[in-house]
Amino acid sequence: MDRGTFRAIGVTICAVVTVLSAVLMSTPALAATGDTEIESRWQALGAGAGPLGAKLAAPDDDPYDVSGGRAEDFANGSIFWSDGTGAWEVLGAARTYYTATQGPAGPLGFPTAAPEALASGAATRQVFAGGHVYSSTETGTHGVTGPVLAKFLALGGVTQLGLPTAEESPVPGGTQTVFQSGRLYRSGTSVYALMTGPLLDRYLALGGPAGKLRLPTSDETPVPGARRVSFQGGAVFWTQTYGARVVEGSILTRYLQIGGTASYVGVPTTDMYVIAGGRRSRFQYGYITAYGTAVPIVTGGWRFSTQAVTAAEIPYTYRSGCPVGPASLRRVKMPYYDWNGVPKIGDLIIRTTAVADMQRVFYGAFAARFNVRQIRPVDVYKGSDIASMAADNTSAFNCRKVTGNPYRLSQHSYGNAIDINTYENPYVTGSTVYPAGSRTYLNRSVVRKGMIVKSGVIAYRMAVYGWPWGARWSHPDYQHFSSNGG
């Protein structure tokens, strides 16, 4: 062995000896500090006249080592100390619970504060490094730790959920902690809350975590028109009118895709049930049907309504001097099936005298599931017919000149004309096809989605109710119908 190696080994040995000496010297010092702070805390609480009571008789009247610190027992409790947390008393039922869970060596670790009375005055809480312990004569004494404690506090603690009434306990796939006003379910580090009430009642009636819904994957949350909890196996929606209803499987997936309770069909009114060849869930304004692995079919009920229009609502399509004013117009909430076969509510501004005819036409189109891209007032496009057509928009009223002919007033100015699916049904002038890019649809022999054809539901119903089609002109306007043929 060379001299350099020997010297290195010597240095290392010296370092180890120094560390060991420091540890041996510091342990009594820390113990002395802990014992002093325990004594100070007992004195500060009133010594023998305080809540801890008198010291125990010898030989149990001295502090002793515990995992990571020191402790001393008194007639009515104990004080636990560590260098990081200081000295704090643990009393009564909380001490019994704490001792039963291995004290400082257990999941709670050392206390970090004194016991405190909660607002109600009927319960106490004590905070430990690893959790909280809650005690009351009504609920007993229970600890809350880890992710469950974090969730509990995030929700408002006892103010929202009340006191724990049981320990966190295993359930299929996770754990459950029961509180006075609800339950927290944990899977891994994810924790979700169900409050006492109809949603929790329905979940438990279906078997809770052991049932088909399994564990929750969301808190109980408000959604438009309802309250919802999502689970691994489905979702439960609650309304005052229809109660707690279960939606599951591919029907739930489709329902959420189309907007859930905010969609056209509204809130669920039944659980999912079996029909010939498939399954179905009913909703306020329709139903969703699943057949095998195919994408479920959304079917809407007819939801037609009208309301008055003000000049402020149509600032780009109406101005003083137009042939008809807002008093002669109506905003029609017009049902239609969009490009994906999902029912929607459109927004059509049209003359009052034309409302009944358009209701009949679009009712037939809706029943036939004719696809409409969208129905929006041209005000969305600041009154631009060009922009509205480019967006494949279905619209009616727009006080303007004929597109491509600035010398002639359009029938849309009177609110008695409508353009439908403008891209699939182009408008042709002597020099231009509107909108740009729609020329491929001049071939009317290849029928594609959204096209109006002579034998189809739109052209047929328009003819029945006396609205001639612009397709008859030498320069056809395949999107256009009007009550006077203009």
Could you tell me the two tokens for 285?
């304004």
Give 353's DSSP letter.
G
Q: How far apart are CA 476 and CA 87, in angstroms?
A: 91
Q: How far apart are CA 4 and CA 61, in angstroms?
A: 55
Instruction: Count CA within 13 A, CB hemisphere, residue 56.
Output: 16
Q: How far apart are CA 75 and CA 245, in angstroms?
A: 56
CA dihedral 215, 218, 219, 224 (to 10 degrees): -130
Indicate the residue among 113, 137, 161 that finishes a domain.
137
- 164 in a structural domain: no
- 18 in a structural domain: no
The predicted structure's pLDDT at residue 119: 78
The predicted structure's pLDDT at residue 294: 96
- Tens of pLDDT, residue by residue, the chain (486 residues): 333 433 343 334 344 333 333 333 347 888 889 999 999 999 999 999 999 999 999 999 999 999 999 999 999 999 999 999 999 999 999 999 999 999 999 999 999 999 999 976 789 999 999 999 999 999 999 999 999 999 999 999 999 999 999 999 999 999 999 999 999 999 999 999 999 999 999 999 999 999 999 999 999 999 999 999 999 999 999 999 999 999 999 999 999 999 999 999 999 999 999 999 999 999 999 999 999 999 999 999 999 999 999 999 999 999 999 999 999 999 999 999 999 999 999 999 999 999 999 999 999 999 999 999 999 999 999 999 999 999 999 999 999 988 887 778 999 999 999 999 999 999 999 899 999 999 999 999 999 999 999 999 999 999 999 999 999 999 999 999 999 998
Picking from 146, 190, 193, the residue whose alpha carbon sits closest to that of residue 167 is 146
Give 142's DSSP letter.
E
- 275 in a structural domain: no
- 53 in a structural domain: yes
- Long-range (24+ apart) CB contacts under 8 A made by 198-207 are 198/238, 198/243, 198/244, 199/227, 199/229, 199/236, 199/238, 199/244, 201/244, 202/236, 202/238, 202/243, 202/244, 202/246, 203/229, 203/231, 203/236, 206/246
CA 71 from centre of chain: 48
Could you tell me the two tokens for 52?
């801890």
pTM metric for this prediction: 0.85
- 110 in a structural domain: yes
Range of the domain at 75: 30-137
The predicted structure's pLDDT at residue 22: 37
The predicted structure's pLDDT at residue 311: 97
The predicted structure's pLDDT at residue 19: 38
Strand partners, 234: 231
The predicted structure's pLDDT at residue 436: 97
Indicate the residue among 137, 158, 193 that finishes a domain.
137
* Strand runs labelled E in 321-444: 329-337, 343-351, 401-402, 405-409, 417-419, 427-428, 433-434
- 173 in a structural domain: no
- 86 in a structural domain: yes
Domain count, the chain: 2
The predicted structure's pLDDT at residue 31: 82
Indicate the residue among 77, 111, 137 that finishes a domain.
137
* Strands 401-402 and 405-409, sheet pairing: antiparallel
Contact status, residue 131 vs residue 106, Cβ threshold 8 Å: no
- 378 in a structural domain: yes
Position 350, amino acid: I
